[in-house]
Amino acid sequence: MIDIKEYEEMMMFDLADKEREGLGRRLGELVDSFAALEKVDTCGAEPLVTVLDGCNVLREDISEKLMTRDELLSSAPERHDGYFKVPGTL
């Protein structure tokens, strides 16, 4: 179990003794799990950017005109001079 009083003061928390004990126990378990990872031999392992085998699936950035202005504005509840008309904001 980790004594979390120092952390409690930094975060300006005021925990009850029971909460402090429970949090200290859980924090200790977390630290122990990372300590187990430190024992793993990673020499010769190449760093990964991602675990997925996929490559860049983005399309080329090509400008295409899919709809005309009139087609887009045909579904607008209100329009003005070829633009959508929306409520004013301050």
- Burial annotation 21-41 (CB, 10 A radius, 16+ → b, else e): eebbeeeeeeeeeeeeeeeee
Q: What is the model's pLDDT at position 4?
A: 81
Instruction: Give the mean pLDDT of 23-39.
Output: 88
Q: Is 79 helix (H, G, I), strand (E, B) or coil?
A: strand
Percent of the chain with pLDDT over 70: 100
> What would the pLDDT profile of 40-50 be if each residue is shown by its tens digit?
898 988 888 88
Q: What is the dihedral of CA 74, 77, 81, 82, to 10 degrees?
A: -30
2 or 24, higher pLDDT? 24
Q: What are the boundaries of each domain within the chain? A: 1-41
Instruction: Give the mean pLDDT of 81-86.
Output: 90
Q: What is the model's pLDDT at position 11?
A: 83
